């Protein structure tokens, strides 16, 4: 290419670029053209939809006459219809699709935001029999039943052929939370060749409480083998468990304060339970159950059961029998025995007076403190003795030094034996009280009676009081601050300060006690306000006890007694087993140190 040709082509490119720039459409015109094209496309799609919709509907396969006249032909297709069973306690909505309970409302109870308590609802609830008929699995959840209502009894029937049918009956008695449920199989022994059928129940339990996170921590499927203690699946993760260790007496879909329980008259042969933790708003967990039932090849086979839909109130569940009340978490051994046989009876007794539950917790705390007062007194006296001995212990430490801790401990033990002091005397009474303190940690979060009950600024004693709402989440604290938890923390810090004054704690021990209350602030901030209220009251009553004991105890008298003990012959003092073991341990440590020095 010569220079003239190249120059001509270059000039033509400049002219074309300039024409595109100066004579091309503006950005506004381009945008308008895009909007016009998009509008035309939408019109074409709408027209195409109108044209093809009838064709698609027409293309939908219809149930042929052979299928309709065959097994379960009249139950394969139908129109969904509902029937309501209702009494003073429950409102059940039954559907002919599957012949099942579609939804359950527990009357007289409200969710935290004031709506009716609906345990489960909608198509997410599946319930039916799985049977092998003609080599194929038939699930009655997919069949349409014919409903007949007589009073508070509803019959759901799906015809197989001729006089062969499946019938469910639901009977709701007045003022009851129980629904009598019967499965009647008539003539199906001619078509079911297996010796068992399966009962399948799947449902999504809905959120009822203020804290969905805490509600999930108390929700799990429970089950009980015959002659064994009830057990449950994981509360923290998805899990599926095969139940093959024995016959199953009952199983339940438990939430924090409500349960759906199925109790067969004849125990299930075996089964499988599953749980899935859900993250969708308003939903807690999804439960599934497949229970194997024996099929005896009888012309008429009947399976009788009972549903329980209602609260997890301990005495209500206990009245159901079968140890269903044990699904209410009362803590580990021995805490569950303290809660069940001590705390709960006293609480129910106080409840009989009709007082506000805040007042009941106050009286309960006072009674507990009075019962524990002898231990509190012994603990105070023991700590006072150690405080009075501290100057003498400091003298010993100055003489021995810190280089030989074993020798220092031996000298301390000699002093303890001379004055008759047990260094653990202040700890043992506190340890004996600890199970009662821990028992309430399980008692209040699972106590249905506190649900919805208010006291002072606390609207619901069964959940946290978000006195301050942040609008955002702070690590370790959460999105709120509970005023009762703050008061409990402050009172614990004050208690720690005065306790250090009594015991004469120094060094690291003096400051360790201040760390735990701060930790508990983060842990208990989302726990029920009733629990924090109890801990706050316990601290305040402890202050009062120590004030009274301090006025009753004369430190000078204790000091004189300790000095008098020094003058008594050591042989007359009986050595405790603890002191004997401690002496042996100290001697072994001293010998080890001496041997180490020789080896060096």
Q: What percent of the chain has pLDDT over 90?
A: 51
Average pLDDT, the chain: 83
Residue 234 has pLDDT above 80, yes or no: yes
Token pair for 466: 């978000």
Mean pLDDT value across residues 214-241: 94
Residues 364 and 501 reside in one and the same domain: yes
Asked whether the bond before 334 is cis by omega within 30 degrees of 0, the reply is yes
- Which CATH number do you get for residue 97? 2.70.98.90
Q: Is 488 exposed, middle or buried (0-12, 13-18, 19+ CB in 10 A)?
A: buried
Cα–Cα dist 78/286, whole Å:
28
* Boundary (domain end) residue, out of 326, 358, 378: 326
Mean pLDDT of 325-333: 92
- For 137, the token pair is 């699995």
158/559 Cα distance (integer angstroms): 89
Of the candidate ranges 64-78, 79-93, 271-285, 351-365, the one whose mean pLDDT is the lowest: 64-78
Q: Where are the alpha helices (DSSP H) in 247-356?
A: 314-320, 335-338, 344-351
Summarize the chain as % helix, strand, coil (round to 5): 45, 25, 25
Q: How confident is the model at residue 87 (pLDDT cuts 50, 70, 90)?
A: very high
Question: Residues 14, 20, 25, CA angle at the centre, nearest 5°?
Answer: 165
Q: Is residue 514 domain-shared with residue 466, that is, in the same domain?
A: yes
CA–CA distance, 219 with 307 (Å, rounded to integer): 18
241 in a structural domain: yes
Residue indicated by tokens 């299930």: 268
When pLDDT is averaged across residues 42-60 and rounded to a whole number, the result is 40
How high is the pLDDT of residue 312? 96
| 263 shares a domain with 301 | yes
Q: Helix, strand, or coil here: 461?
A: coil
- pLDDT given for residue 577 in this prediction: 61
Residue 41: pLDDT over 50: no
556 part of a folded domain = yes
Alpha-carbon Rg of the chain, whole angstroms? 37
Is the Cβ–Cβ distance between 238 and 216 less than 8 Å? Answer: no
User: Residue 521 sits in which domain range?
Assistant: 347-572
**53 within some domain:** no
Predicted TM-score (pTM) of the model is 0.78
CA angle at 61 for the pair 60 and 65, rounded to the nearest 5°: 145
Give the contacts of 317 (CB within 8 A, at least 6 positions apart). Answer: 259, 324, 325, 327, 328
What is the C-alpha separation between 227 and 90, in angstroms, rounded?
A: 31
Mean pLDDT on 14-29: 45
From residue 349, alpha-carbon distances to 337, 363, 507 in Å are 17, 11, 46
Decide which of 428 and 577 is more confident.
428
Q: Is 215 a domain residue?
A: yes
Which pLDDT score, from 0 to 100, does residue 117 have? Answer: 95
> How many folded domains does the chain comprise?
2
The pLDDT, as a whole number, for residue 576 is 57
CA distance 479 to 213: 13
Cα–Cα distance for residue pair 103/125, rounded to 1 Å: 8
**322 shares its domain with 466:** no
Structural tokens at position 367: 């009674």
- What pLDDT, in 10s, does the model give residues 406-461? 777 888 888 888 887 877 766 777 788 889 889 999 999 999 999 999 999 999 99
Most confident stretch, 88-97, 118-127, 556-565: 88-97
565 in a structural domain: yes
Cα gap 479→473, rounded to integer Å: 4
Q: Indicate if the pLDDT at residue 339 is higher than 90.
A: yes
476 with 405, same domain?
A: yes
pLDDT at 388: 85
**First-residue to last-residue Cα distance in the chain:** 99
Q: What is the pLDDT of residue 452?
A: 93
Indicate if 206 and 270 belong to the same structural domain: yes
Same domain, 212 and 319: yes
pLDDT at 392 over 80: yes
Q: Please indicate, yes or no, if residue 3 is contained in any of the structural domains.
A: no
* Pairing of the two strands 164-172 and 178-186: antiparallel
**Residue 255 shares a structural domain with residue 363:** no
Q: Which residues of 552-574 are buried (b: 16+ CB within 10 A; e: fewer)?
A: eeeeeebeeebeeeeeeeeeeee
Do residues 497 and 406 share a domain? yes
C-alpha closest to that of 85 among 141, 206, 168, 198: 168
The token pair at 571 is 């042989």
pLDDT score at 49: 39
Query: Under a CB-based contact definition with an 8 Å cutoff, are residues 76 and 68 in contact?
Result: yes
Residues 122 and 226 in one domain: yes
Instruction: Report the C-alpha gap between 458 and 483 in whole angstroms.
Output: 9
Run of H or E residues at 437: helix 427-443
User: For the range 593-599, what are the long-range contacts, defined as Cβ-Cβ under 8 Å and sequence gap of 24 or more?
Assistant: 593/404, 593/406
In a domain, 26, yes or no: no
pLDDT at 7 over 50: no
> Any idea which of 53-57, 138-142, 587-591 has the lowest mean pLDDT?
53-57
- In whole angstroms, give the CA distance from residue 484 to residue 535: 10
pLDDT beyond 90 at 546: no
Task: Indicate whether 415 and 298 sit together in one domain.
Answer: no
Q: Do 252 and 356 fall into the same domain?
A: no
Query: Is residue 265, in this structure, part of any structural domain at all?
Result: yes
């Amino acid at each position: 290419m010569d220079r003239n040709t190249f120059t001509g082509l270059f000039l033509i490119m400049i002219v074309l670029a300039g024409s595109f720039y100066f004579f091309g459409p503006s950005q506004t015109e381009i945008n308008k053209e895009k909007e016009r094209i998009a509008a035309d496309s939408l019109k074409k799609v709408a027209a195409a939809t109108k044209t093809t919709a009838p064709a698609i509907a027409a293309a939908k396969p219809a149930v042929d006459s052979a299928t309709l006249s065959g097994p379960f032909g009249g139950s394969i297709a139908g129109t969904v219809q509902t029937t309501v069973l209702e009494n003073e306690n429950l409102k059940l909505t039954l559907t002919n699709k599957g012949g099942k309970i579609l939804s359950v409302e527990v009357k007289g109870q409200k969710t935290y935001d004031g709506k009716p308590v609906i345990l489960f609802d909608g198509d997410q609830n599946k319930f039916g029999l799985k049977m092998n008929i003609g080599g194929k699995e038939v699930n009655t959840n997919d069949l349409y039943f014919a409903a007949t209502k007589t009073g508070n009894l509803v019959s759901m029937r799906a015809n197989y052929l001729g006089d062969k049918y499946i019938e469910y009956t639901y009977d709701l008695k007045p003022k009851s939370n129980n629904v009598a449920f019967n499965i009647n199989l008539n003539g199906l022994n001619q078509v079911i060749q297996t010796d068992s059928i399966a009962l399948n129940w799947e449902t999504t339990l809905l959120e009822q409480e203020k804290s969905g996170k805490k509600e999930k921590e108390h929700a799990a499927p429970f089950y009980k083998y015959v002659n064994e203690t009830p057990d449950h699946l994981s509360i923290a993760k998805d899990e599926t468990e095969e139940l093959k260790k024995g016959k199953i007496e009952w199983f339940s879909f438990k939430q924090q304060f409500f349960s759906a329980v199925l109790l067969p008259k004849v125990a299930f042969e075996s089964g499988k339970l599953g749980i899935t933790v859900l993250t969708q708003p308003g939903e807690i967990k999804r439960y599934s159950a497949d229970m194997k039932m024996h099929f005896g090849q009888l012309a008429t086979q009947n399976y009788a059961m009972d549903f329980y839909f209602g609260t997890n109130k301990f005495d209500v569940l206990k009245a159901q029998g079968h140890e269903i009340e044990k699904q209410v978490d009362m803590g580990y051994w021995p805490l569950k025995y303290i809660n069940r046989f001590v705390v709960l009876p006293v609480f129910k007794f106080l409840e009989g007076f009709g007082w506000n539950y805040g007042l009941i917790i106050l009286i309960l705390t006072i009674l507990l403190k009075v019962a524990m007062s002898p231990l509190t007194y012994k603990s105070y006296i023991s700590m006072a003795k150690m405080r009075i001995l501290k100057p003498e212990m400091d003298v010993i430490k100055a003489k021995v030094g810190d280089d030989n801790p074993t020798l220092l401990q031996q000298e301390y033990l000699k002093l303890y034996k001379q004055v008759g002091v047990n260094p653990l005397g202040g700890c043992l009474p506190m340890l004996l009280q600890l199970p009662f303190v821990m028992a309430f940690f399980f008692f209040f979060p699972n106590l249905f009676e506190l649900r919805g009950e208010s006291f002072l600024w606390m609207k619901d004693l069964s959940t946290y009081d978000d006195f301050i709402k942040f609008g955002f989440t702070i690590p370790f604290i959460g999105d709120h601050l509970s005023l009762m938890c703050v008061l409990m923390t402050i009172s614990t810090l004050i208690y720690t300060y005065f306790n250090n004054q009594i015991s004469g704690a120094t060094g690291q021990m003096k400051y360790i006690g201040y760390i735990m209350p701060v930790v508990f602030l983060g842990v208990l901030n989302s726990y029920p306000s009733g629990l924090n209220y109890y801990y706050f009251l316990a601290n305040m009553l402890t202050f009062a006890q120590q004030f009274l004991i301090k006025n009753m105890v004369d430190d000078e008298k204790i000091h004189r007694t300790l000095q008098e003990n020094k003058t008594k012959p050591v042989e007359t003092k009986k050595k405790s087993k603890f002191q004997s073991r401690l002496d042996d341990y100290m001697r072994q440590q001293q010998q080890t140190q001496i041997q180490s020095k020789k080896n060096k």
